[in-house]
Amino acid sequence: MDKFRMIFQFLQSNQESFMNGICGIMALASAQMYSAFDFNCPCLPRYNQAYGLGILLVPPFILFLLGFVLNNNISMLAEEWRRPQGQRGKDQAVLRYMFCSMAQRAMIAPAVWVSVTLLDGKCITCAFCTSVPVETLGNASHPSLSQGDMKRVLARIPCKEIYDGQELIANEVAIRYLRCISQALGWCFVLLMTTLAFLVRSLRPCFTQAAFLKSRYWSHYIDIERKLFDETCAEHARSFAKVCIQQFFEGMSTDLAAARCHPPRKAPADAGEAAEKLLGITDQGTMNMALKSWHRCKPPLHLHPPALPSGNGWAGEGQPPAHPPVPRRETAAYYSRV
């Protein structure tokens, strides 16, 4: 368990590197999935285009959504976007920065799939085999066929074993023609993706450096604040459970001592320390109110001492502060306990 805990803490502390590694693994997996995929064109005029374009576009869309699902920050982005305004405003630039960062990582695997599919050429060959220019590449002196018969013959181009139109157009000629177009589109797509990645990653910070730094800082702040809040809640829940269990056994010990006329045992020394970590929240209703207040009215980003006694907004308006003003030397100790 200690090893798994160390690995989990390492992944949390290196989340950006971890997500980059996940994106790289998904990109390799998408290429491996395509190489292992058994492509079988139906060779029917009504289904060839739907099948070919479906294999080209549907898996990248699934991989794109999967990239968002595997990203731990998607729930944080949704929470920040949907939370009430409260005492802290929402910066749309920060939300856009967080979404763009996740979208850039999520697009790696789909881009690899589309590139590999286009460079292989099977999907384009299956989807557009009925659009081969027979007048240019085929036998123009072949007896005329109806439009339906022509499409039926051309739709069998990807299936060499059942193709029966060699007199109309050679199977190898049509396949080479379509594969050449597909590979040209593939290399153009790779060039386009590479250029866009270069512009986004390299040139954007140069033109909007101040806004870029501000958005990156506050996106990191939101991530760290959420992690620290979860850790504080986990520590509070642990202390709450510890005190609750200790009080239960102390009550049982008192009842047994009264029944047997034995003096009750002393409370353990760490009971007071666990009670201190509760920070005065010692019942379920107060805890639920505090959690609801954190969602509805997060504290403002203003760390001066006079702002501390105002509370989080759920204790009521016009009530006296629960604690006296905290001197400057005690402020650091207050935050260290929280």
15-64 pLDDT tens trace: 555 566 666 677 777 777 777 778 889 999 889 999 999 999 999 999 89
Residue 155 falls inside a structural domain: yes
pLDDT tens by residue, 272-303: 666 677 777 778 888 888 888 877 777 777 77
Distance (Å, rounded) from C-alpha 153 to C-alpha 145? Answer: 10
> DSSP secondary structure string, 304-337?
-GGGGGG-SS-S-TTPPPSSPPPPHHHHHHHHHH
Residue 170 falls inside a structural domain: yes
Cβ neighbours of 117 (radius 10 Å): 26
Residue 135 falls inside a structural domain: yes
What pLDDT score was predicted for residue 273?
67
pLDDT tens by residue, 179-232: 999 999 999 999 999 998 888 878 776 777 788 788 888 888 888 888 888 888
Residue 297 falls inside a structural domain: no
* Total-model pTM: 0.68
What's the total number of domains in the chain? 1
Residue 58 falls inside a structural domain: yes
Residue 283 falls inside a structural domain: no
Residue 322 falls inside a structural domain: no
Residue 166 falls inside a structural domain: yes
56 lies in which domain range? 1-210
pLDDT tens by residue, 236-278: 888 888 888 888 887 776 766 666 655 555 555 555 666 677 7
